[in-house]
Amino acid sequence: MSGEHSPVLWLGQVAVISLPVEIDPVNAGQVRDDLLSVLNRSPSTLIVDMSGTTFCDSAGVNALVRAYKRACACGAVMRLVVTAPSVRRVLAITGVDSLVDVYPSVAAALTDEPSQSRKPCPGYAGTRTDPDGWAAQPS
Q: What per-residue confidence (pLDDT) applies to 79? A: 97
Residues 31 and 60 sit within 8 Å (Cβ to Cβ): yes
Residue 113, in any domain of the structure: yes
CATH number at residue 33: 3.30.750.24
Cα of 95 vs its chain's centroid, Å: 13
Residue 132, in any domain of the structure: yes
Residue 36, in any domain of the structure: yes
Residue 22, in any domain of the structure: yes
Burial class of residue 34 (count of CB atoms within 10 Å of its CB; 0-12, 13-18, 19+):
buried
How many independent structural domains does the chain possess?
1
Residue 50, in any domain of the structure: yes
> How, if at all, do strands 55-56 and 101-103 pair?
unpaired
Exposed e or buried b per residue across 78-116, where buried means at least 16 C-beta atoms within 10 angstroms of its C-beta: bbbbbbbeebbebbeebebbebbbbbeebeebeebeeee
> How, if at all, do strands 77-82 and 101-103 pair?
parallel
Domain that holds residue 65: 8-138
Residues 60 and 24 sit within 8 Å (Cβ to Cβ): yes
Q: What per-residue confidence (pLDDT) applies to 135? A: 40
Supply the pTM of this predicted model. 0.82
Q: Which residue has the higher pLDDT, 58 or 139?
A: 58
- CA proximity to 84, closest of 139, 19, 128: 19
Residue 1, in any domain of the structure: no
Query: For the segment 28-69, what is each residue's pLDDT rounded down to a tens digit?
Result: 999 999 999 999 999 999 999 999 999 999 999 999 999 999
Residue 111, in any domain of the structure: yes
Going by C-beta distance under 8 Å and a sequence separation of 6 or more, which residues neighbour residue 126? Answer: 139
Residue 39, in any domain of the structure: yes
